[in-house]
Amino acid sequence: MIAMHRKCPSCQRYAQWEDNPWRPFCSERCKLADLGAWSAESYRIPEEPGEGSGEEWSEVGELL
């Protein structure tokens, strides 16, 4: 029998697939780490220049 192993997307190590509650990750730590990175990425709000920053930029341009 060949044991089924998959590469952990988080740490890139081969982890047991069967009877692994954290698959496709090798461990709970890797699963949480990946979920944390994913949510941090998706919840990142793109910075939009407000009126204040726009004023600052134009002032700098004029001074230079």
Residue numbers at the binding site for Zn ion (CB under 5 A):
8, 10-11, 26, 30
> Closer to Zn ion at the Cβ: 32 or 53?
32
Q: Distance (Å, rounded) from C-alpha 54 to C-alpha 61?
A: 11
Q: Distance (Å, rounded) from C-alpha 23 to C-alpha 2?
A: 18
10 close to 34: Cβ distance less than 8 angstroms: yes
> Closer to Zn ion at the Cβ: 23 or 42?
23
> Closer to Zn ion at the Cβ: 12 or 53?
12
Q: How far is the CB of 42 from Zn ion (least distance, A)?
A: 21
